[in-house]
Structure 1
Amino acid sequence: MLMRGLELVTGAISEVMGRIGWFLILYCMAFGVSDVFMRYVLNAPSQWIGTTLQAAMVLLACTGGVYALQHDSFVKLDLFYANASDRSKAILDILTAPFAVLFLVALIWKGYDAAALSLKLNQKTPTAIPIPIYPIKFAIPLSGCLVLLIVLKHFIKDVQTMLGLGREQ
């Protein structure tokens, strides 16, 4: 029951993140091309597009990481992993999970510290059009929390697979 709820929550979150990522890709494509056109053809560079593209790419990494992990789309070292049994894959995943958790805890902790400081200092981009930086910085620990939730879900499934417990239908 708990696993089913966790599956539904992480699935819904990752789908929302995937849709946000889709819009961010469109934004980056449209404004990236228009920025190049304005700069090199019209000789009238934008004062804000480059900065917003940088922010969009950070957000794209945040949303894309959540979506890719949920859909098992990250690259793995297939030399050892591809031909292994499901139980062996689960054991390998269990052995690497502590490293993922350690990295994510550090990302969340230090990312939150950086975002809180950015908010306290009211950081803005040093451009002609000042854009607040702290919302983008808060996206990093937030997405770290979401990725951690998915990692924990995968860990539980891997433990069940390793112990030979079938999925409850």
Structure 2
Amino acid sequence: MWRKVEGLFDAIAEIMGRIGWLLVLYCMIFGVTDVFLRYVMNAPSMWIGTTLQAAMVLLACVGGAYALKHDTFVKLDLFYAAASERTQAILDILTAPFAVLFLGTLIWKGIDAAKLSIMLNQVTPTAVPIPIYPIKSVIPLAGAIVLLLVIKNLVRDVRTLVTGHKPAS
């Protein structure tokens, strides 16, 4: 049963990684387009800059889950890389409460911000009003997905601590 749950979490993280890839592509294409319009055509866009900011927020949201799934977050490898699997698991278990505290706060406050944004029908204060509430709603959702991945990794680390070696993925 747990393997199916892990598989579901991993599949969600992979989907988020694909969304992140599309967001990077969007930022590249429209970032270059914005520069071209502004400096070559002398006709700046009224909406590209705002949507790029939104895309970068979304990229941070989806990128976190993908990076956690692939264990690509920055670690202090000076100590961590040379440690045994059991010691790495202990270090991961010791840092997990900080991740849970951060993500719990992000989810809690993110839900409050999203509710308020939805209630106010919040849009950007620019010439082209772009809705902000969808982006603010994604933040706590992404935080919840990363929290699920943290819990998955915590279970894996506890199993590593007990057995002495990492379980097969």
Q: Answer yes or no: same fold by TM over 0.5.
A: yes
Consecutive unaligned residues of structure 2, counting only runs of 5 or more, are: none
Distance 1:153 1:15 in 2: 15
Tell me how far 1:43 sits from its aligned partner.
Answer: 0.4
SS at match of 2:163: coil
Distance of 2:168 and 2:128 partners within structure 1 = 54
CA distance in structure 1 between the partners assigned to 2:34 and 2:139 by the alignment: 26
Percent identity reads 69
Q: Secondary structure at the match of 1:163?
A: helix
SS in 2 for 1:93: helix
SS at match of 2:11: helix
1:128 and 2:127 are equivalent in the alignment: yes
2:85 and 2:164 in contact (8 A); partners too: no
Runs of 4+ with >2 A deviation? 165-169
C-alpha separation in 2, matches of 1:82 and 1:118: 43
Hey, what's the Cα distance between the residues in 2 that align with 1:168 and 1:42? 56
Structure 1: which 5+ runs fail to align?
none
Partner of residue 36, structure 2? 37
Deviation (angstroms), 1:10: 1.2
Secondary structure of residue in 1 paired with 2:129: coil
> Given the two structures, how large is their TM-score scaled by the length of structure 2?
0.96
1:133-152 correspondence to structure 2 within 5 Å: 133-152=132-151
**Alpha-carbon deviation of 1:6?**
2.1
Amino acid at match of 1:133: I
Size of the aligned set, in residue pairs, is: 168
For residue 106 of structure 1, what is the amino acid of its counterpart? T
TM-score by length of 1: 0.96
Are 2:117 and 2:132, in contact at CA under 8 Å, matched by a contact in 1?
yes
